[in-house]
Amino acid sequence: SAVISQKPSRDICQRGTSLTIQCQVDSQVTMMFWYRQQPGQSLTLIATANQGSEATYESGFVIDKFPISRPNLTFSTLTVSNMSPEDSSIYLCSVGLGSGNTIYFGEGSWLTVV
Amino acid sequence: AQKVTQAQTEISVVEKEDVTLDCVYETRDTTYYLFWYKQPPSGELVFLIRRNSFDEQNEISGRYSWNFQKSTSSFNFTITASQVVDSAVYFCALSEAERNSGTYKYIFGTGTRLKVLA
C-alpha cells in the first residue's frame, strides 16, 4: 500500500472562492485519481491526474472548474474553483498500486461551501 | 456496460450478529477485479480486499469473509459476530482495463451503511 496525505482535511469556504487540495504520496506512483463524494453518495471520478501532462477528465467535469496539477510522481493538487454550495463534498485523492491496480485513498478533504 | 449494485442501502444489526453485504456486478470482460472498501465516519476509505476474476476461492480474514461467485456475478461480504466498530459504509467496486488505453477504470457501488447496535 502507500501512505497518502491530503491537506486540508476540512475547510469551510465562502461561495465564489477557490480552494486547492494537496495530495502527497510516500512513493512514486503512476496512477493517481481525484474523486468526489457528495453527502450520502457514492464516489464519482473527477479525473485522472497524469504526470507531466494535462489531466483526463470524466464526463461532467471540466478543467476550468477543477484544474489539476501533477508535477511529479508523488504529488498532485486539485483546485475547486468558484465554489458553490453544490461543491460541498468530500474530495478524495487515490493511487493505483500493485497487481490489479488496487486503489488506495487518502483521508479525504471535507469541504463545506457556505 | 460496467455496473456495481449494492441493493442494501442500510442494514442494522445487534452486536454479535452475523451480517452479509451483497454486491452484484456487470461487466463485459473476462478479466476484472473486485474490491471492498470500508468508510468509517472519519471519511477515509479503507481497502479490505481485492479479488481477480480468475480466483473464485472464498477468503476469510478474521471475522470477515468474502464469497465470490461468477455464476451469479456476486461478491458478497460477511461479517461474523459483528461489533460496534464495524459500523461504517461499505463500498463494493469493480475495475477492468480500458480497451484502448489499457488503464484501469473503477466503478463503485452506492454503498451499504451498516449500523451495529450495542
pLDDT score, position B103: 73
Label residue B101 by pLDDT band (50, 70, 90): low
**What number is the average pLDDT over the span A82-93?**
96
Q: Would you state the cell numbers that stand for residue B26, as one nine-digit string?
A: 456487470
Q: What's the pLDDT tens digit per position in B70-83? A: 999 999 999 999 99
Asked whether the beta carbons of residue A107 and residue B44 sit closer than 8 angstroms, the reply is yes
pLDDT score, position B17: 97
DSSP state at residue B31: S
pLDDT score, position A100: 64
Asked whether the beta carbons of residue B47 and residue A102 sit closer than 8 angstroms, the reply is yes
Burial bucket for residue B99 (CB in 10 Å: 0-12, 13-18, 19+): exposed
pLDDT score, position B10: 97
A54 Cβ under 8 Å from any chain B Cβ: no
B48 Cβ under 8 Å from any chain A Cβ: no
**What number is the average pLDDT over the span B78-103?**
89
CA distance A48 to A53: 11
Burial bucket for residue A98 (CB in 10 Å: 0-12, 13-18, 19+): exposed
Dihedral, CA atoms, A95, B55, B5, B20, nearest 10 degrees?
-110
The answer to whether A63 and A79 have CB atoms below 8 angstroms apart is no
Q: Which residue bears the cell 465516519?
A: B41
**What number is the average pLDDT over the span A76-104?**
91
User: How many beta carbons lie within 10 A of that of residue B20, not counting itself?
Assistant: 13
CA distance B78 to B65: 5
